[in-house]
Amino acid sequence: MRAVLTVLLLFVLAFPAQQTLAQSPAGATLNWGEDRDYRTLDPRVTQSRHEWQVIMHVFDSLIFRDADGKFHPWLAESWQFSPDRRSITFKLRKGVTFHDGTPFNAEAVKFTFDSIQDPAVGSQAAIDLLGPYKSSEVVDPYTIRVNWNQPYGPIIANLSTANLGIVSPAAVKKLGNDGFARAPVGSGPLKFVEWVDRQRVVLDRNPAYKWAPAALKNKGAVQFERVVLRIIPDDSTRVAAFERREIDLIESIPAIEVKRFRGAANTDVMLGLVTGLPESVMFNISVAPTNDVRVRRAFMHAVNRPKLVQDLFYGTKKPAYSAITESTPGYWKGAEALYPYDLNRAKALLEEAGWKVGAGGIREKDGQKLEMNFRVLVFPDVAVALQSSVREAGMQLNVENVTKPKQDEYILANDYHVLTLSWSGADPSILSIPFHSRNVPEPGKFKFNWNRIKSQALDRLLTDADGETDPAKRARILQSIQQFVLNQGLMFPMHPLVQATGYYKNISGLRFAQTQYQVIFNDVRVGRR
């Protein structure tokens, strides 16, 4: 049972450890319990927030954005927009070295950004975050001018993400893209040591590190020797490892356990309300019956969203209503009035679409049942609740729990009607990732427009929002995007994600990164047990 007792206060962003500890004991190891396996550790490729937990410590970005939304210099000491806002000139930090001993410089920035555009790299998120990138010009070893084809409003926010962390050109050239994904080399506070599939990733302290952003208390090397990120997908097994003290921190602690570990004698829990796309149902509009907007709208009216959230999360989460969460900049509050629970309206829409009640209460049309295949990777209890809800309107939702490789196979084969998707991101520019036509998946190109919508009007809105630098004007465009997505019934938002990280109280200095999902280790101290 997914009893989310995690969020007694939904708007609490973090609960740092209460005690201030002295220097960590010599040889201290931080053991982290991860709930999902990794596929790549290349920031240019990944789209996984699980992989970001590793990547954000192996790689540094040009800019640092704290959880309060403020930007700070990092690998870039300063930046200056051109008058037409199509270029930014960055003055880079000197004295930074990659873990392989090669220097960080303007050539490394150019290499990173240029390579993201290379189809052979297979970028799944960075290519979207980099936006309408045109080129990079090395002015001198520590000055670079980056050019875009049009003004790109989100770029400063996006340059602060782990996806646009700067890679070692020498390491990529030596290892190749696939080898680099398995043995990443950056300039961050932790150095890659090993990756054992489905077991662990090990990172060691970078003793040369002395260029952390000003927002962090510790500007130098971390105060422990090693991080072991153990892959423990099963919740009960991960909790048991935490109880036995085999791990010091547990990621995505099951909701039912939060009350037990929060504020206990030796343990506590920090909570983050994640920004970005909420957990949502995404409809495939390229196949019947979900190619009919009336069917999609009927689905949404058939679900009592407040009750679903109440039943599954005991009132500790609020329903989500729009394509981005309420905590994300640009949220349109008007979305909350759309698609109220109305079973009669759902039935009327299906009647209008020609679907008549048949045997067993499931609607039929032209000899076909009104059924949809739901390929479920996460939150199977939500899928079952949705299945029960829409059945009352005469829709059959065929729920199949699948692995990630199997889900990917279904997506590339266009063999699905319903999927769920969420995306953590601090800027609403992430809306292009699931809705721009360039991101429709196809064999050899795994992308996240799972609706498979190809709309020039929506593409234009997304492009306009990304190109608008005036906050008020951008907010109006973002509202239009959310209206389009919801009016077309492309997605059914359900609930925002909440990250709950459990830890032992001998660990201090924990804080969430900008989206409230990943945990920053730079300031951590490991006290004696």
Q: Map out the domains of the chain as residue ranges.
A: 1-35+189-274+498-529, 276-495
Let me know how long the chain is.
Answer: 529
φ and ψ of 371, to 5 deg: -130, 150
φ and ψ of 201, to 5 deg: -125, 135
**Beta bridge partners of residue 188, listed in sequence order:** none
Which pair of structure tokens corresponds to residue 474?
């951008």
Closest by CA position to 22, among listed 221, 248, 224, 249? 224
Looking at residue 272, its pLDDT comes to: 86
Burial class (CB in 10 A: 0-12, 13-18, 19+), 1: exposed
Amino acid letter, 483 = Q
**Do the two domains 1-35+189-274+498-529 and 276-495 of this chain adopt the same fold?**
no
d(CA 16, CA 269): 9
Q: Are strands 29-34 and 226-231 parallel, antiparallel or unpaired?
A: parallel
Query: Along the 529 residues of the chain, how does pLDDT read in single tens digits?
Result: 333 333 333 333 333 333 333 455 557 999 999 998 899 999 999 989 899 999 999 999 999 999 888 999 999 999 999 999 999 999 999 999 999 999 999 999 999 999 999 999 999 999 999 999 999 999 999 999 999 999 998 999 999 999 999 999 999 999 999 999 999 999 999 999 999 999 999 999 999 999 999 999 999 999 999 999 999 999 999 999 999 999 999 998 887 788 899 989 999 999 888 899 999 999 999 999 999 999 999 999 999 999 998 888 765 678 999 999 998 999 999 999 999 999 999 999 999 999 999 999 999 999 999 999 999 988 888 999 999 999 999 999 999 999 989 999 999 999 999 999 999 888 999 999 999 999 999 998 899 999 999 999 999 999 999 999 889 999 999 999 999 999 999 999 999 988 889 999 999 999 999 988 899 999 999 988 7
Which pair of structure tokens corresponds to residue 154?
């989100």
Q: Which fold has domain 276-495?
A: Dipeptide-binding Protein; domain 3 (3.10.105)
512 in Cβ contact with 500 (< 8 Å): no
For tokens 């498979």, name the residue: 452
**Three-state secondary structure call for residue 511:** strand
d(CA 141, CA 124): 29
Which pair of structure tokens corresponds to residue 12?
């609490």
How would you write 204-248 as a 3-class SS string? EECCCCCCCCCCCCCCCCCECCEEEEEECCCHHHHHHHHHCCCCC
Q: Residues 6 or more apart from 120 whose CB is under 8 A from it?
A: 177
341 in Cβ contact with 393 (< 8 Å): no
Q: Residues 6 or more apart from 260 whose CB is under 8 A from it?
A: none
Q: How far is CA 529 from CA 266, 267, 526, in A?
A: 9, 12, 9
Looking at residue 310, its pLDDT comes to: 84
Please compute Rg for the chain using Cα positions. 23
d(CA 186, CA 256): 38
Compute the CA torsion angle 5, 8, 10, 11 (nearest 10 deg). Answer: -150
Superfamily of domain 1-35+189-274+498-529 in the CATH hierarchy: Periplasmic binding protein-like II (3.40.190.10)
Looking at residue 17, its pLDDT comes to: 37
d(CA 440, CA 453): 7
d(CA 327, CA 321): 12
Listing from the earlier edge strand, what are the strands of the sheet with 133-140?
Answer: 76-81, 87-92, 143-148, 133-140
391 in Cβ contact with 369 (< 8 Å): no
408 in Cβ contact with 326 (< 8 Å): no
Looking at residue 314, its pLDDT comes to: 66
191 in Cβ contact with 174 (< 8 Å): no
Instruction: Count the helix, strand and coil residues of the chain and give each as a percent rounded to the nearest 5.
Output: 30, 25, 45
**Which pTM was predicted?**
0.84
Looking at residue 477, its pLDDT comes to: 97
Closest by CA position to 420, among listed 439, 448, 445? 448
406 in Cβ contact with 429 (< 8 Å): no
For tokens 């990529």, name the residue: 172
Phi-psi group of 198: left, alpha or beta (phi > 0 → left; psi -120 to 50 → alpha; rest → beta): left
